[in-house]
Amino acid sequence: MKQVLKGLSSFPGNPISWVMVIVFLAPVFLLTIKSWVTTSLFLLSFICLWPVFKHPKKYFLNRSNQFWTLLACLLIPFFSELFAQLGRGEIVGASLDGPSRMILAAGVFVYLSRVDCLLVIKGLSYGSAFGILGVCLSIVFFPDYYWGSRAATYFVDPITLPCFTAALLGLFLFFNADEFSPKFHVWVKLLLTLIVLYISIEASSRSGWVALAGLLVVYAIYFFRYSFKAQVFGVIGLVATLMAIYFLLDSVYSRVNESVSGVLAFFMDNGAFSESARETSSGQRLILGLIDLHLIKSYPLFGFGDRTTLPSYESLLLILPYVTQEIYEIKVLAGSHSEILAQLVRQGIIFGALTLFCLFLYPIYLCAWKYRKLTFSNGNHVAGVLGFIIPILASALTIQVFNLKMTISFYGLCLAIFFAYLCWQLEREQGN
C-alpha cells in the first residue's frame, strides 16, 4: 500500500497516477454503485489513449509478436459479434455495446504495455479487498435489497454477486503484498475468504459456490506449488472443509441435494422426460442447454440473432418433446443459462468459439502453460489473472456472467492490466 501511495506523489501530472487511482477504485465500488466500473473504463481509455495518439511510434513500433497477439485477443470478442451480425444481415447496437468495452480495454492495454504497471496491479488487488468489504457491509446494512431471502445489492442479482465477489477474492489471493509480513497477509486472506464464503451462502447461489470452491482448489495448488505432497494434503483439507460446510449448514445441504437430484433425474430416471428433471432448477437448466444446442445446430455459421424469432413452443415441442411451457417461457425471458452456450448461440460456432478462446482459454494457457515459469515464480503477480478468471469461468458454465455491461467492462479491464504487465515483462527481457 505504501508503494501505491508513493506512486501517487506525481499526481495529477503523470497519466499513470490517474490510472492507479481509477483502477484502485474500480473494484471498490464494482458491486455496490451502479455504472461505476463502466464509467471508470471510459475514463481510463481516454487517459490512456491520449499519450498513445500523441506518440504512436512509441506504442506500436518494434513490438513483440506477443503484444500483437494479446491486442488481438482483446479485440476479437467485439469483431466476432460484429461479423456474426453482418453474416445475419443485421446490426444491433445494443448487442455490440457489451463487446465494445473490450475495445476500450485494448486502449488501456496499449498504454500500460509500455510502462511498469506493477503498482497498477497492486492497486487493483488492494481495491478488490475493499470491494469485498463493501459488498459485505452492503448486504448487512441494506437488507432491503435482498431478493427474498437471498443477498443482493440494489443492482446486482444474487447469482452475479457471489461470482464476481469470488473473482475479487481471486485478485487478492494470488497477490503477494511486499508491504506486510507474510503472517499478516495470510490472516487477511483468510478473513476475506470467510467474508466471501458468508456472502456466497447468503446469496444462496450454487453457481457462486462452485466458483468459490474452484478458486480455492486452484489457489491451494498454487500456494503449495513447490511440493506435490503438500498440494495433495492441501486439496484434501480443503475438500474436507467444504464437506463440513455441506453437512453443517442446512441451506447448503438442501440446495446441493436439490441440484444433485435434478441432475441425476436428467441422466437416469427416463432422462429429460423425468418429471423431477423438468421441475428442478438444475434439470431445467440442462434442458435449456439442450435447447441452446438445438439452436447452435440450426444456426451454426452466424448464430441466432436478437432479431431472430425463437421457434414457437408447439414447433419446438415437436423437435424437443421434453420441453415444458415453463421452460420455454424461461428461455424466452432469460435466454441462455450458460455464458459458454450463449456465445455459441449468438455468434455461431466459429465466432463464438473465438470469443470464448480469447476471453477464457488463451489467458489461462499463457499463465498456466506457456509462461508458467514466470507465472509461478516468487513475487510475480501474473498469476492473479488465474485467480480472476477461474471463478468466472466456473460460473460461466451455468450462468451468463456478462449479462450486465459492468461485468464485461471489469473483465476487459482486468485482462488488459494483466496482459500489459506480462507484455512489459517479456519485452523488457527481449530488450524491446
- Counting every residue written for the chain, the total comes to 432
Those residues whose C-beta lies under 8 Å from the C-beta of residue 207, and which sit 6 or more positions away, are: 159, 162, 163, 394, 395, 398, 399
Please report the pLDDT score of residue 94 as a whole number.
Answer: 83
Please report the pLDDT score of residue 334 as a whole number.
Answer: 81
What predicted TM-score, i.e. pTM, was given to this entire model? 0.93
Phi, psi of 147 (to 5 degrees): -95, 90
Please report the pLDDT score of residue 192 as a whole number.
Answer: 97
Those residues whose C-beta lies under 8 Å from the C-beta of residue 309, and which sit 6 or more positions away, are: none
Q: Where are the alpha helices (DSSP H) in 154-205?
A: 160-173, 182-203
160-173 helix and 118-141 helix, angle to the nearest 10 degrees: 140
Please report the pLDDT score of residue 279 as a whole number.
Answer: 76
User: Which grid coordinates belong to 190?
Assistant: 483468510
Residue type, 245: I
Q: What is the mean pLDDT of each run of 10 residues along the chain (432 residues)?
A: 52 75 96 95 94 92 93 97 91 88 97 92 95 96 92 94 97 84 88 96 93 95 92 94 92 88 75 70 87 91 80 86 86 87 94 97 93 81 92 94 93 97 89 66
Pick the closest to residue 429 from 64, 31, 21, 100 (CA basis). Answer: 64
How far apart are alpha carbons 329 and 324 in whole angstroms? Answer: 9
Please report the pLDDT score of residue 3 as a whole number.
Answer: 57
Strand partners, 147: 150
User: Measured between alpha carbons, how far is residue 280 from residues 48, 53, 272 in Å?
Assistant: 48, 54, 11
